[in-house]
A and B are shown apart, each in its own frame.
Chain A
Amino acid sequence: MPRLLAIGSEPLNLERLIGAVTERADGPTGSDGAVVTFLGLVRNHNLGRRVLFLEYEAYDPLALKTFDQISAEVDRRWPGVRLALHHRTGRVEVGDASVAIAAASPHRADAYAACRYTIERVKQIAPVWKREFFDGGDVWIEGATADPADDTARLHAERTACA
């Protein structure tokens, strides 16, 4: 069976994530009514700069534990949702996917919410960094200070997911 949570340099394959959340060893679970997926792509522009490619760096073992935490949070908030989350590291070209998420659920509302919540939480607490190579230079992008115990951030992600 494909892994539910992964980080590494291999290109992302959404079909594998969908399989991971909807199938058991002997075939489809049959209990799902919806799969919602998200692909984060490398965009060719950012803040007025022409982006050439991105390079992702991660603290892999902590990233996987963080993905575990996000998955457990999803399970508590939306019981019955099955979640897969894969993030890429290394060089990712414009148009290619850097992150892939699949959420399966008996009903679509929970799958949509869990998928949106997961990408918001990745951006808040996953120890992953992107370095943008643009026309004329490169820059490390620095977003949120990661604090997995910060409940205000978690609730913000939950509100965004349920808006």
Chain B
Amino acid sequence: MRVTVRLFARLREIAGAAELAREVAPGATIGGIWRDLASEFPALQPYERSISSAVNADYARMDTELRDGDEVAFLPPVSGG
């Protein structure tokens, strides 16, 4: 199945893209996608413990299972205001 990965701020810069398309196996989780990304872009690894994640623009835990067409987002620590 196919998912879209959205990356923001410093994560976006590390990966060099705001949006990535990924083919993943059924049953794939947000955490699985993150581990694949962190292998592909090792500079993401220090963010492992500080990121938040979302699916289809709702905050979601890393063990959330994905469905075909989902939009997954990884968010570094926030700094609004």
Residues on A facing B (Cβ under 8 Å): 40, 56-59, 61-63, 65, 87, 98-99, 119, 122-131, 140-149
Contacts and interface: CB of A to CB of B under 8 A. Distances in A.
B76 interface: yes
B81 A129 contact: no
B10 A126 contact: no
Interface in B61-81: 73, 75-81
A56 B80 CA distance: 8
A151 to B, nearest CB: 14
Contact of B59 (A56, A58, A124, A146): A146
Where chain B touches its partner, the secondary structure class is mixed
A148 B12 CA distance: 22
Contacts of A129: 8-10, 76, 78-80
Contact of A143 (B59, B73, B77): B77
B77 A65 contact: no
Contact of A126 (B50, B54, B73, B80): B80
Contacts of B76: 129, 140, 142
Interface residues of B, number: 21
23 contacts: A56-B80, A57-B8, A57-B12, A59-B8, A61-B57, A123-B78, A123-B79, A126-B81, A127-B8, A127-B78, A128-B81, A129-B78, A129-B79, A129-B80, A130-B79, A140-B76, A140-B79, A142-B10, A142-B77, A144-B77, A144-B78, A145-B51, A145-B52
A138 to B, nearest CB: 11
B80 A58 contact: yes
B8 A142 contact: no
The interface centre, meaning the residue of B57, B73, B81 with most chain A CB atoms within 10 A of its CB, is B81
Given A57-B9, A59-B73, A146-B75, A128 B80 contact: yes
B58 interface: yes
B31 to A, nearest CB: 15
A123 B57 contact: no
